[in-house]
Structure 1
Amino acid sequence: MRFVDSHMHLWHLTEHKWYPALDPPEDSDDFGIGDMAGLRRDYLPEHYRADAAGSGLDVVSTVHVSAVTAPGTHLDEAGWLDRVAAEHGLVGAVIGAVEPGADADTVAADLAEQAKSRLFRGIRVLYGFDPADPVTRRLVELLDAGAHVFDVVIHPGEVDAWLPLLRDFPGLAVVLEHAGWPDGGDPDQFAAWRDGLTRLAALDNVECKISGLPMSLHTLDAETLRPWIQTCLEVFGTGRAFFGSNFPVDSLFGGYDRLAEAYLGATAGLTDDEREQVFVANATRRYRI
């Protein structure tokens, strides 16, 4: 199965000290995914390709999503990714970042600087941006005006806060990252998550990136992931959903082959054209690969 991986990360920890979140204090788990010791290693194109090899997915291109957490390093990362892509291929598009807590002028300048790259497609907001804050509105305005993608994590409890802003920009390309990052795997949390998905899917310009579910469910078991994957496809349809590996982060819970098993198994009932949409065509279109 050909695959455009819509969400992956590369990092060179031995060269760049841009990732303090990978080395938290022993009693800290800022992202709720457990011990991140397995991520404290260089992860470069050769490591990604080795992980994907033999998985049953033929990765034809990837979307790199900014992974830096040290203040002021996202522009350095953008330049590094241009060099990596030129030398090694693999990365067909880049989703960058802006600094949480920055003022509107800084956000605008950072966005303009990153947009100089031929690979740049938009910005990812993981945390630190209040949808009611004027700076967040300014970021969204700039993304909309520049025809850039807004990759955003919206947890189930945050949907009500984000909906008014997103409704004001019906032409903005919005990608719900990590399938909305559910708060856990019990039935009540599943119900709350599905409700949030349904309300976001009512906005025609929102698409669902099916990625990162193991961070919430702490497993790559195909049967465990199946109802979550199929719910995303049911709610958004095969025309507005696509897959991402979230590697190397999801490697904390198993190999790329297990992730491929889950994605391939959950879509076994789709037509060939529908599978082509969710594995290749939708991400290719959205990120202009």
Structure 2
Amino acid sequence: MSDSELVDAHVHYWRPSVNDWYPALRSRSIYRDVLPEDFPPSAGHVHVSAVSSPRSVVDEARWLDRLRGETGFPSAVIGTIDPAASWDEIEESLLAQAESPAFRGVRVFSGFDPAADTALRLFRFLAGNDWVFDLVTRPADVSSYLPAIEKSPGTTFVLEHAGWPDGEEPERFRQWRKAVASLAGFGNVDCKISGLGMALGTTDPDRLRPWVETCLELFGVDRCFFGSNFPVDSVAGTYADVIGAYRTITSAFGSEDRHKLFAANARRRYRLP
């Protein structure tokens, strides 16, 4: 499968030279303009918002729509909300973001309490509109999400960054596997295998293999797909390194399963055109 057949389920576009919507990233080397032309040819990109001033997300959505009109990318957008806002403000923000035909759901990077009434209300609102909740959590925090997921069977959840491993030591791997397995038990949770370069500091296929193969074992091929997490994963290697590692790890799979993992599943989940 060539890059042009890849649907990258997790990319970030930003243009801090013009739009300073990401203050949390200012001190990092990745805080440079990143636009569709900085990626190899692809069948699709799912942009995931990284705004750290959530009230800027509607401005970002409108910028992305203009970019989409000029370049055809992003193919789909996962926005965000301010978890500290009132429900009326959250709903208003969601509806404003949804004015874009590319809008597919949200993630909340920090400050989200899955036990709060707002969480259940959000999950039900997303379900009613066929929108996705991209789930950001670390192994130690997964258990806090389980009751809310159980109460939200109609909501589609996508676990980001393979559950965000926090170390390669055997005990950390065991804790991560247990946490991911608890999420895999819900049929409405998919797994986005992404962010491993960021989490583990490497794109070496041999070091990533246990994590990737565990996700595939627990969720199955039909509920997994790959994302580059670029430019963030550039801290560990090039774009070709990241995608190449995932391809190496899955090289023994049949062509149909590889197509699902690298294109078809993400296309279906995010309803790409």
TM-score range, shorter chain: over 0.9
CA contact (8 A) 1:185 1:216 kept: no
Tell me which residue corresponds to 1:177.
160
Within 2, Cα distance between the matches of 1:287 and 1:193? 26
Tell me which residue corresponds to 1:206.
189
CA contact (8 A) 2:12 2:50 kept: yes
Q: Which secondary structure state, in structure 2, belongs to the residue aligned with residue 95 of structure 1?
A: strand
CA shift at 1:157, angstroms? 0.9
CA contact (8 A) 2:124 2:154 kept: no
Q: Deviation per CA, 1:192-237: give whole Å up to 9, x if none.
A: 1111111100000100000001121011112111111111111100
Tell me which residue corresponds to 1:139.
122
Tell me which residue corresponds to 1:13.
16
Structure 2: which amino acid aligns with 1:187?
A: P
CA shift at 1:90, angstroms? 2.8
CA shift at 1:104, angstroms? 1.2
Tell me which residue corresponds to 1:42.
33
CA shift at 1:249, angstroms? 0.5
Match of 1:91 among 64, 69, 74: 74
Whether 1:222 and 2:225 are equivalent positions in the alignment is no
Stretches of 4+ moved more than 6 A in 1? none
CA contact (8 A) 2:6 2:42 kept: yes
**Higher relative contact order, structure no. (Cα contacts within 8 Å, ≥ 6 residues apart):** 1
Within 2, Cα distance between the matches of 1:9 and 1:3? 16
Within 1, Cα distance between the matches of 2:142 and 2:31? 32
Within 1, Cα distance between the matches of 2:237 and 2:268? 29
Within 1, Cα distance between the matches of 2:14 and 2:31? 10
CA shift at 1:67, angstroms? 1.4
Q: Which secondary structure state, in structure 2, belongs to the residue aligned with residue 14 of structure 1?
A: coil
CA shift at 1:18, angstroms? 0.6
Structure 1: which amino acid aligns with 2:13?
A: L
Tell me which residue corresponds to 1:101.
84
Within 2, Cα distance between the matches of 1:90 and 1:155? 30
Structure 1: which amino acid aligns with 2:149?
A: L
CA shift at 1:117, angstroms? 1.1
Residues 3-12 or 177-186, more deviating: 177-186
Match of 2:243 among 260, 263, 286: 260
Within 2, Cα distance between the matches of 1:71 and 1:264? 35
Q: Which secondary structure state, in structure 1, belongs to the residue aligned with residue 20 of structure 2?
A: coil
Within 2, Cα distance between the matches of 1:144 and 1:260? 31
| Runs of 5+ consecutive residues of structure 1 not aligned to the other structure | 25-35, 53-57
TM-score scaled by length of structure 1: 0.91
TM-score scaled by length of structure 2: 0.96
Structure 1: which amino acid aligns with 2:92?
A: A
CA contact (8 A) 1:222 1:258 kept: no
CA shift at 1:71, angstroms? 4.2
Match of 1:23 among 12, 20, 26: 26
Tell me which residue corresponds to 1:160.
143
Q: Deviation per CA, 1:235-271: give whole Å up to 9, x if none.
A: 1000000000000000111101111221111101111
Q: Deviation per CA, 1:33-80: give whole Å up to 9, x if none.
A: xxx22x121111112x2xx3xxxxx62111000011124111100000
Match of 2:58 among 47, 71, 75: 75
Tell me which residue corresponds to 1:55.
none
Percent identity over the alignment is 48
CA shift at 1:154, angstroms? 2.0
Tell me which residue corresponds to 1:29.
none
Within 1, Cα distance between the matches of 2:102 and 2:31? 26
CA contact (8 A) 2:54 2:81 kept: no
Q: Which secondary structure state, in structure 2, belongs to the residue aligned with residue 76 of structure 1?
A: helix
Within 2, Cα distance between the matches of 1:101 and 1:184? 30
| Runs of 5+ consecutive residues of structure 2 not aligned to the other structure | none
Q: Which secondary structure state, in structure 1, belongs to the residue aligned with residue 186 of structure 2?
A: coil
CA contact (8 A) 1:60 1:90 kept: no
Q: Which secondary structure state, in structure 1, belongs to the residue aligned with residue 202 of structure 2?
A: coil
Closer/same/farther in 2, CA of residues 71 and 112 from structure 1, 3 Å limit: closer
Whether 1:4 and 2:43 are equivalent positions in the alignment is no
